Structures are given as C-alpha cells and as structure tokens.
Structure 1
Amino acid sequence: MAKALDSHFLALTSIVTVCYQFIFFVVTALLKFDKVTDFAGSTNFIILSVLTLVIKGSWHFRQVVLSLLVLVWGLRLGLFLLMRIFQWGEDRRFDKMRNNLGKLVVFWIFQAMWVWTVSLPVTIVNASGKNPSIQALDIIGWIMWSIGFSLEATADQQKLSFKNLPRNRGKWCNVGVWKFSRHPNYFGEIFLWCGIFLSSIPVLEGAEWLVIVGPVFLTLLLFFLSGIPLLEDSADKKFGNVAEYRLYKKVTSPLFPLPPEVYGNLPLWFKKIFLFEFPLYNRNLPRESFLVFKLST
C-alpha cells in the first residue's frame, strides 16, 4: 500500500534529502564548519539517483544511463568543490551566516529544495515501469549533457588554475572559456540538466510533465538568487572602478558563450531581452562606472 502511494518515489526522495541535508546542517551550525556544504549538495544527487534506480530494480537502459550521468556529474562536482574549499580555506558565502542561525536555516532549506527539485526528472524515470525505445530526444539530451558537463568542468578547472597563480590574486578570471561567458560553469550546469530533462520526456505522461520544474527551478535559482547575482555583486564591488573590468563586462555575455567581438557590438536592449543581461547584474557598479557601461553599450 505504501509503495503504491509513493509510486513515483516523491515522498522517499524528499525524506532522504531532508534527513541528509539536516545532518550537514547540524555539523555546520554546531561546529561552524562549512567546508562540506557543496559536497553535501552534490552527493545528495548521487544518493537519490542510485537509490531510486536500485529500489525500482527494473534497470532499463534509459534509467541506467541517466543515473550514471548524475553519478558522474555529482562525483566530479562534489570532489572538485571539496578540493577547492580545502585549498582556499574558506567559503565567503558563509561569512554572514556562521553566527546567524536563521540565515543558515534558509540556506539549507534552499539546498534541500534544489537537490530534490532538480533531481525530479531522474527520479520519475527511475520510478517508471515504462520502457519506450531509445529516441532522438534521448540522444539529443545525452549530447547536451556531454557538452554542458565538459563546459562546466573546463570552466571550473580554468578558474581554479587562474586563481592559484600568485600573479592573479585579486583579479577576475578572463581566460579560456571565461573569455566568452562571465559564468560558463552555470551555463554548463543548466545545459546538462536540460539535457537530462529532455531524455526523460519519452517516459513522461500526464502530471509527470511537472518535472520540468527541475531545470526551471535551477535556472531561476542561478539567475536571480544564489548564482549570478551574488558573483556579479561581489565582482562589481571589487573591480567596478577598474576600466579593464568594465570593458570585460561590456563585451562578455553573462551566460551564453559568445565571441566578445559579437556580444560587445550588440545593442543593450537585445542583450537584456535575449541574452539575460539583467539590470540587477550591474546594480553594484559604481554610479559613474555604470553610466559609462550603459552609454557605451
């Protein structure tokens, strides 16, 4: 009876996610130790994908492939972020949270929501008894995952290498794929999860289509809350008075990788509407710098 009531594993995955994140929240709150925060998020994805695959036990090819894609992504991201935080020694996102229990609780609630919601396409596929043949949507989705994964991994490694060079201390990263996007890692993450959603479509029926909230939630989170706005604000405060940085923002797309020669010559209205150059990404530029940026665009 219980199995029938939770045939899509929604209750199971929510309980596992809340319990797993709560453990790390307690560690962070009591010990003021936030070095495992990102590791807790990425490994939670792995737990949900493997758990639902094993419990269902049907081992359809699509289920196995999508679960493996999440496993590879989660392991790579989790180990990378864990290594990076131990190298850098601190996570500045938590500077205002370590002694503020309320803010810490809100952060961990959002992290649990992020994991559970974004995992929905894989959860539903693994819970499904349907096994339609592999279709073009599957292939396209897997290709999208491969491109997004490669871009995210490349961007992370290039930025880490850039930051670890003493001569680059106190500079913004503008090498490699960062020449074409101010946040190529986020583009890669959004792209790969959209690919996973696309690969889940052949299985979806009726209300199951609501799993589209996974990539949508991830995109909105990165666009407006914990992703791009925080990094743009931080960089603007540090480098807003530096002419080279203002030029970098003018000619570099906030998300979609584009040649600077192309993006820099596009009108501002086009950037805002089609390329997500939202005004909130420039709200902490010094006033004079912002006017120069706006007029020159």
Structure 2
Amino acid sequence: MGTVLDSHFLALTAIVTVAYQFIFFVITYVFKFDQVTDFAGSTNFVILAVLTLVLKATWHFRQIVLSLLVVVWGLRLGIFLLMRILQWGEDRRFDEMRGKLAKLIVFWTLQAVWVWTVSLPLTVVNASDGGGSLKPTDVIGWTMWVFGFLIEAAADQQKLTFKNSPENRGKWCDAGVWKYSRHPNYLGEILLWWGIFIAASPALEGAEYLVVFGPVFLTLLLLFVSGIPLLEASSDKKHGHLGAYRFYKKTTSPLFLLPRGVYGNLPGWFKAVFLLELPFYSRNLPKEEVTVSKLEESPRTAKRK
C-alpha cells in the first residue's frame, strides 16, 4: 500500500466525516433538534466502513469481516441511542449548549474528530490489499470484538429496562452487568475497538501502526474526558448523600467486571493502580461519614431526597 493511496483515503474519510457531521450540526442548531446527535456519530462509522471497503474493492476476507463488525456495531448503537432519546425526550447534555453557536461548533467538531480518529485502523486496512492470509491476531481481535459487543449491548439494554421501571425512578442502575462494573458499556466499547485494531494489525506495516492512536484516543476519551468522569460527577451529585450509593461505589469496579465481594475487599492503592479507580472519579462525592444504618440501605429502597 502506497503513501499516496493512504493520504487519499485519509483525506476522503476526513471530508466525508466533516460533511456528515455538519449536516446534523445544522439540524441541531436551526431546528433545536438534538435527538440526532448520537445517531449521527454512530452511523458515521458505518458510512466510512462501507465507503472505504467499496472504493478499494479488493474484497479481502479481513477487510470484509472488519467492515461488517463496524457496521453491526454502528447500526446497533445508533438505532438504540436514537430510539432511547426519542423515548426520553431532550438530550440533557445540550441544556447549556442549545442555541449557543460556539459551544455547538466545539461539540460537533470533537464528534467529527472522534469518528475519524477511532475509524483509522479500519480505514487503513480497507485502503490496503488486505494484508495477506489470516493470522492468530485476526481471531484474537474478532473474539475481543464479540465480547465487547455483547457486554455493551447487554449493558445498554439492562440500563434502559431499569430506568423505564417506575419503581427505579431516581435510582442508580445496579442490575445485570452493572452489578460488576459502574460503566460496563464503556468497557465493552473499549474492548471491541481494541479488537478491531488487533485484527487489523496483519495489514499494517511501518508507520501505519500509528493508527493505534484510534483505540488509544477512544480509551483516553472515555477514561479521562467525556466518559466516566462526567457520569461519575453527575451520579455523585445526585446520590452521593446516600450511604447505599457510597457503598455501591466502594464495592463496584469503575470499569472491569469484578464481583463486589472481591473488589470491595481490595486495598485502595491496588484499585487505583491496576483497576482504574482514579481519585478524581470521586471528587464530587460529598465529604461525609457513612454510618452503619446508611450502609444497610439498599439501592432498591433508597429514595431521592
């Protein structure tokens, strides 16, 4: 695969991404209709996967499989998020941005960067000749994608079911995989995109390995910027005064799936170093002692105060 061909594909996908996101930016700003935000991001991945596969048209098995995996993920997530926001109403993330041009431009620009960057491994593979015969890394990557996809899909559906139940109104989700991780959907997304990169690696050579920036960017974004930190802060402000919530947070892993009995008994330094229980995830937690009576509350009976 030549450098010229690489640059053409990278430029094309960048142009398509910016144009696609710009269309939805206009819809959001002009019509104050922000329910299409997540749909625009997820389906953009689908467009880039199909576009790069068809344009190169070498139809290598590796290219077809990886493109199919991205299409399945993008459609599943995009449709799910669209149906959920249409059911729930307005996207609260836009409460402070709605009608404010500068903030909306920043948001949609970052979304375009996210789509283009995370898609890099697949873009480069589809721009190549396919990378030759299948390798063990293909199977490893596909397996990681399957596990990640199943975890993310299960987490999304379980949380939606939990939130839609009237008896759970105002409570934090601790059902299904959420018993073992405070953010299992992010674990699934990180796992599946690293799987895409690993499965793409046989088709990469030299400087092309720099596309590892795609999954690295996604991981850093979810761990340190717009993923876990924002949701932890929001949840802490809503429920931080409840002993049951503080106990849930103390005994439930922020990302990896682990039994509460195991995670809750691990020393703090071990959680921070090896399990990503970063101190700033709890900076919005009220500074108060948790009494025995509070710890005995269950999230099922704790009520919003």
Q: Which TM-score applies when normalising by structure 2?
A: 0.92
Residues 182/289 of structure 1: CA separation in 2 closer, same or farther (3 Å cut)? farther
Q: 1:278 to 1:21 in 2, by over 3 A?
A: same
Alignment pair present for 1:88 and 2:122 = no
**What one-letter code is carried by the residue in structure 2 that aligns with 1:44?**
N
Paired residue for 1:193?
193
Give the superposition deviation at 1:226: 1.0
Alignment-mate amino acid for residue 125 of structure 1: V
SS at match of 2:288: helix
Q: 1-side partners of 2:220 and 2:8: how far apart?
A: 25
Indicate the residue corresponding to 1:32 in structure 2: 32
Letter in 2 for 1:205: E
| Alignment partner, residue 295 of structure 1 | none
For residue 288 of structure 1, give the secondary structure of its aligned residue in structure 2: coil
- Give the 3 Å change call, closer, same or farther, for CA 125–107 of structure 1 in structure 2: same
CA contact (8 A) 2:6 2:124 kept: no
Give the distance between the partners of 2:231 and 2:183, measured in 1 at CA.
Answer: 9
- Secondary structure of the corresponding residue to residue 72 of structure 2: helix
Partner residue, 2:101: 101
CA contact (8 A) 1:34 1:91 kept: yes
After superposition, give the CA deviation of every residue in 1:79-138 in whole Å (9 maximum; x if it has no partner): 000000011112111111103222211111110011000000000000002431111000
Q: 1:202, 1:248 → 2: CA distance?
A: 42
**For 1:239-296, what per-residue CA distance to the aligned partner results, in whole angstroms no more than 9, with x for missing partners?**
0001110000000000011000111011111111111111111011112259x9xxxx
Which runs of 5 or more structure 1 residues have no equivalent in the other structure?
293-297
- 1:176-215 deviation digits (Å, cap 9, x = unpaired): 0000000000000000000000001101101100000000
Q: Are the counterparts in 2 of residues 241 and 289 from structure 1 also a CA contact under 8 Å?
A: no
- Aligned partners of 1:5 and 1:176: how far apart in 2? 46
Letter in structure 2 aligned against 1:200: A
Report the AA paired with residue 178 of structure 1: W
**Seq. identity, %:** 71
Mapped to 2, the partners of 1:130 and 1:244 lie a distance apart of: 52
1:142–1:289 distance in 2 versus 1, CA, 3 Å: farther
Q: Tell me, what secondary structure is at the counterpart of 1:287?
A: coil
Q: CA RMSD in A?
A: 1.6
- Distance in 1, matches of 2:4 and 2:150, equals 39
- Residues 1:134 and 2:158 are matched in the alignment: no
SS in 2 for 1:284: coil
3-state SS, counterpart of residue 244 of structure 2: helix
CA–CA distance in 2 between the matches of 1:93 and 1:254? 22
Aligned to 1:72: 72
1:289–1:24 distance in 2 versus 1, CA, 3 Å: farther
Q: Which amino acid aligns with 1:167?
A: E
Q: How much does 1:7 deviate?
A: 5.0
Code of the residue aligned with 1:150 in structure 2: it is: L
- Equivalent residue, structure 1, for 2:211: 211
How many correspondences in the alignment? 290
Task: Tell me the CA shift for residue 5 of structure 1.
Answer: 5.4
Q: Deviations over 1:28-47 (max 9, x none)?
A: 11111100000000000000
Amino acid at match of 1:180: Y
- Take 2:275 and 2:110, find their aligned partners in 1: how far apart are those partners? 26
**d(CA) in 2 for partners of 1:4, 1:18:** 21
Note if 1:175 corresponds to 2:175. Answer: yes
Structure 2: which 5+ residue stretches go unaligned? Answer: 293-305
Distance 1:193 1:5, change over 3 A: closer
Per-residue deviation at 1:8?
5.6
The answer as to 2:278 corresponding to 1:278 is yes
C-alpha distance in 2, partners of 1:146/1:8? 31
Conserved? CA contact 1:181–1:256, under 8 Å: yes
- For 1:19, the equivalent position in structure 2 comes to 19
Question: Cα 1:245–1:137, aligned 2, differ >3 Å: closer, same or farther?
Answer: same
CA distance in 1 between counterparts of 2:289 and 2:219 reads: 28
